């Protein structure tokens, strides 16, 4: 599809005041605005061929909100109508939003349920990955986070995963329990047979080292699944 020429571009300043993103935010509040309008406010200006609103709509079509948050900075800088300054504004705003979604400092939060672990920021981040990422949430005796290291990246199976590597950081910080977290790039959070085998192996290794495995959380397609709640890999339920 051809990019419209300058003569067909409708600038935001040419819109009725009631349709301009900044004025709409002022009059109705930020929640009333579409994602494209919020991003257009960040961009402020467009180009000779695209208004800020059109650029925002294109970015959302190509990336989505979570994709903009995880896309490499250098890649965004190459998008027509952005550059370093505007790419930095988008990255900064999305990061602030994700920090607000976390509500409180992770180091002070208690993790007592799958929902505590799979919060909005983590779901958005890990759903956007194109490869599998495996992380281990390290907890103290009161359920406070001691760390959340990433242990593996790439397609994994039970033959590749070494339980010692999954528990290495737990031993280092003297964690009493862990939660395994990984994503399914397919978007389907249904546990695989490999997921079950890894969970069982980790529980057995943890028992030998005095480290409990509270859960295995799988994230995909903007959703999460707790293997313990099914249960799979915990006890005899398979």
Q: What are the pLDDT digits (tens) for 45-66?
A: 888 888 899 999 999 988 888 7
Q: Select from 228, 234, 237, 125 the least CA-distant residue to 183.
A: 125
Our CA angle for 131, 56, 59, nearest 5°, is: 25
CB 76 within 8 Å of CB 39: no
Measured CA to CA, the distance from residue 173 to residue 175 in angstroms comes to 6
**pLDDT on residue 3:** 44
User: What kind and span of H or E run contains 235?
Assistant: none
pLDDT at 204 over 90: yes
Length of the chain in terms of residues written: 238
Are the C-beta atoms of residues 156 and 202 closer than 8 Å to each other?
no
Res 20: pLDDT? 82
Q: Is the pLDDT reported for residue 165 higher than 50?
A: yes
Q: How far is CA 212 from CA 84, 111, 168, 176, 208, in A?
A: 46, 14, 14, 6, 10
Total-model pTM: 0.55
User: For 124-130, what is the mean pLDDT?
Assistant: 85
Q: How many Cα neighbours within 13 Å face the side chain of 61?
A: 7
pLDDT of residue 8: 58
Are the C-beta atoms of 220 and 188 separated by less than 8 Å? yes
Measured CA to CA in angstroms, residue 87 lies from 75, 90, 148, 182 at distances of 9, 5, 28, 28
C-alpha dist (Å) from residue 34 to 39, 84, 88, 130: 9, 24, 21, 26
Cα dihedral 121, 124, 128, 132 sign: positive
Alpha-carbon gap, residue 62 to 58, rounded angstroms = 6
pLDDT at 223 over 60: yes
**Is it the case that residue 26 has pLDDT exceeding 60?**
yes
Burial class from Cβ neighbours inside 10 Å (0-12, 13-18, 19+) for residue 21 reads buried
What pLDDT is stored for residue 238 in this prediction?
Answer: 40
Q: What is the mean pLDDT of residues 91-109?
A: 67
- Quote the CA–CA distance of 30 and 32 in Å, as a whole number: 5
């Amino acid at each position: 599809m051809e990019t419209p020429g300058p003569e067909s571009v409708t600038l935001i300043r040419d819109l009725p005041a009631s349709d301009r993103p900044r004025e709409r935010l002022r009059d109705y509040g930020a929640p009333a605005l579409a994602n494209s309008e919020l991003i257009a406010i960040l961009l402020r200006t467009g180009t000779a061929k695209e208004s800020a609103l059109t650029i925002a709509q294109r970015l959302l079509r190509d990336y989505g909100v979570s994709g903009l948050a995880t896309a490499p900075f250098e890649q965004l800088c190459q998008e027509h109508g952005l550059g370093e300054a505007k790419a930095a504004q988008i990255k900064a705003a999305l990061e602030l939003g994700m920090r607000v979604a976390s509500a409180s400092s992770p180091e002070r939060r208690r993790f007592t349920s799958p929902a505590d672990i799979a919060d909005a920021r983590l779901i958005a981040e890990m759903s956007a990955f194109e490869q599998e990422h495996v992380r281990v949430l390290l907890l103290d005796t009161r359920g406070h986070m001691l760390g959340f290291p990433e242990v593996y990246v790439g397609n994994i199976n039970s033959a590749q995963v070494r339980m010692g590597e999954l528990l290495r950081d737990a031993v280092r910080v003297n964690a009493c329990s862990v939660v395994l977290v990984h994503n399914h790039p397919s978007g389907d959070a249904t546990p695989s047979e490999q997921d079950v085998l890894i969970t069982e192996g980790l529980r057995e290794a943890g028992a030998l080292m005095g480290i409990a495995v509270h859960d295995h959380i799988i994230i995909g397609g903007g959703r999460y699944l707790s293997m313990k709640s099914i249960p799979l890999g915990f006890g005899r339920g398979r």
